[in-house]
Amino acid sequence: MFSHHANLAHALAKRAFSVPDEKGNLPSWAPVVGLVDVIVFLPVFLLISYTLSTVFPTLAIVEDPDPPAYEPVALDESAADQGPAAPVLGKPITSSLRSTRRLLQSVAGWRSYFRGIACALVLNFAKVLVSDVFKKFIPLIPIGACLAQLALTQLSAAWTHIVISNPSDRRFYRRLPPFKKTFEATCFPILALWIANSLTIAVPALIGGALGVPLPGDGNDGKGPRMGAGDMWKPTVMCLVAIVLQLLAVVPANVLLVRVQASLLPPDEDTIVPFDRSFQGKLEPAIVGGKGFVSMRDALATFPKSSWIRLYKLYAKILGVTIAAYGLLLAVIIPQMILIVSKSQKA
């Protein structure tokens, strides 16, 4: 979910503070600098990779685009003096990063930024374990990953429920929806999201192979032909294709899955953003003979054009914040690397 940011941060930190001189020595203060960087940047990357990249979009996906005219009441008393979490009239809460942040702050203070993180960590850890089990019987890794997601559909739905609903005293494992109903509702959306993610990886790789771009794990161990300055358009094409697939395939598939999962939210749990539980009257509760969850078609049909625009704008803002954060990291790390190398050579 947010492991790609963590992996990149780890790689940068490792490269920054593991650059020895010819004797393999580092300045005695280098580990201290590295520790300070970790303490400073770790919360920043948690906010970017988890809060901004997963919590904010999930709230935007379930929010009613025509919220009622009311002023939300702050659940956290320490945040009550900061004003309303959202405008009283008109625009949805998730139309801006600031109003979404203020909403979370009003719900449970700073802890609300990491709501559901325990469930997310368990979910990602379980995916790795279950995928390894499936890989022993099914050599194709992507299929094993898909089966793992289907097997853990309860955890995934529980995470969505925790993110969109008011704080609860119950542990996340006590909020798991029934497996049969959850599997029936989300199996096809999960499959759609898996296909979209697989295409985002496979199609650019195929294009890169056709263009002669050396790819990791292609078996030539860097001995193949190298790209010159005139070949830089090739990886650019790959990146553009990946971005287009992300926007046109992965984002809609994620919208589909989150909205179907949200339709499984128990009726006694209130949401922190305005949420149309009836999905414009298309959801039939189980108590009156319905399925108790929204269909894939209705999940997308009830997500209007204005919500799509709001969601893509949100992703653009998140991308801008992410680029700025990584730029700040490089602006700090690169001078430190230069200083550490220079001091090592003089030692």
Question: Residue 134's pLDDT is what?
Answer: 84
Is the pLDDT reported for residue 121 higher than 90? yes
Question: Residue 89's pLDDT is what?
Answer: 52
Q: Residue 17's pLDDT band (boundaries 50, 70, 90)?
A: very low
Q: Residue 87's pLDDT band (boundaries 50, 70, 90)?
A: very low
Question: Residue 12's pLDDT is what?
Answer: 47
How far is residue 278 from each of residues 93, 265, 292, 294, measured CA to CA in Å? 20, 11, 10, 9
Return the closest-CA partner of residue 61 out of 150, 172, 189.
189
* Residue 171 φ/ψ, nearest 5 degrees: -70, 155
Q: What is the pLDDT of residues 187-208, one digit of tens each?
A: 999 999 999 999 999 999 999 8
**Are 305 and 198 within 8 A, CB to CB?**
no
Question: Residue 158's pLDDT is what?
Answer: 97
Q: What is the pLDDT of residues 22-37, one digit of tens each?
A: 455 777 777 888 888 8
Joined together, the tokens standing for residue 287 give 């108590």
Is the pLDDT reported for residue 219 higher than 80? no
Considering the chain, what is the average pLDDT of its residues?
A: 83
How far is residue 235 from each of residues 205, 213, 216, 246, 271, measured CA to CA in Å? 10, 7, 13, 16, 43
Is the pLDDT reported for residue 136 higher than 50? yes
Question: Residue 97's pLDDT is what?
Answer: 95
Region 271-295 average pLDDT: 87
In our burial notation (b when 16+ CB lie closer than 10 A, e otherwise), range 277-290 reads eebeebbbeeeeee
Q: Residue 344's pLDDT band (boundaries 50, 70, 90)?
A: confident
Angle at 183 between CA 278 and CA 279, to 5 degrees: 10
